[in-house]
Amino acid sequence: MIIVLKPEATAENRDFVVDRLKSLGFQTHISEGEERTIIGAIGDERQLRDRPLSSLPGVEKVVPILKPYKLVSKDFKKTNSEISINGIKIGGKHTTVMAGPCSVENREMLFEIVDKIYDAGARVLRGGAFKPRTSPYSFQGLGEEGLKYLREAADSKGMLVVTELMDPRDIDLICKYADIIQIGARNMQNFRLLKEVGKSGHPVLLKRGMSATIKEFLMAAEYIASEGNLDIILCERGIRTFETETRNTLDLSAIPVIKNASHLPVIVDPSHGTGRRDCILPMAQAAIAAGADGLIIEVHPNPSEAMSDGDQSITPDEFATLMKRIKIISATLERHLEE
Share of the chain above pLDDT 70, in %: 98
Dihedral of CA atoms 204, 210, 215, 218 in degrees, nearest 10, equals: 0
Amino acid 133: pLDDT: 67
From 135, 133, 191, select the one nearest 164 (Cα to Cα): 133
Residue 180 binned pLDDT confidence (cut-offs 50, 70, 90) = very high
Please name the residues in contact with 223: beta carbons below 8 A apart, sequence gap of 6 or more.
191, 194, 195, 198
Alpha helices in the chain (DSSP H): 11-23, 107-120, 144-155, 171-177, 191-200, 214-225, 254-261, 270-274, 277-289, 316-332
Dihedral of CA atoms 221, 223, 225, 226 in degrees, nearest 10, equals: 160
pLDDT at 185 over 80: yes
Q: What is the distance between the alpha carbons of residues 109 and 50, in angstroms, rounded to a whole number? A: 65
By the 8 A CB rule, do 2 and 65 touch?
yes
Q: What is the distance between the alpha carbons of residues 312 and 280, in angstroms, rounded to a whole number? A: 8
pTM score above 0.95: no
pLDDT at 137 over 80: no
What is the arithmetic mean of pLDDT over 88-116?
94
What is the arithmetic mean of pLDDT over 211-235?
96
What is the arithmetic mean of pLDDT over 112-137?
88
Q: Which residue has the higher pLDDT, 96 or 67?
A: 96
- Average pLDDT over the chain, rounded to whole? 92
Q: Which residue has the higher pLDDT, 49 or 272?
A: 272
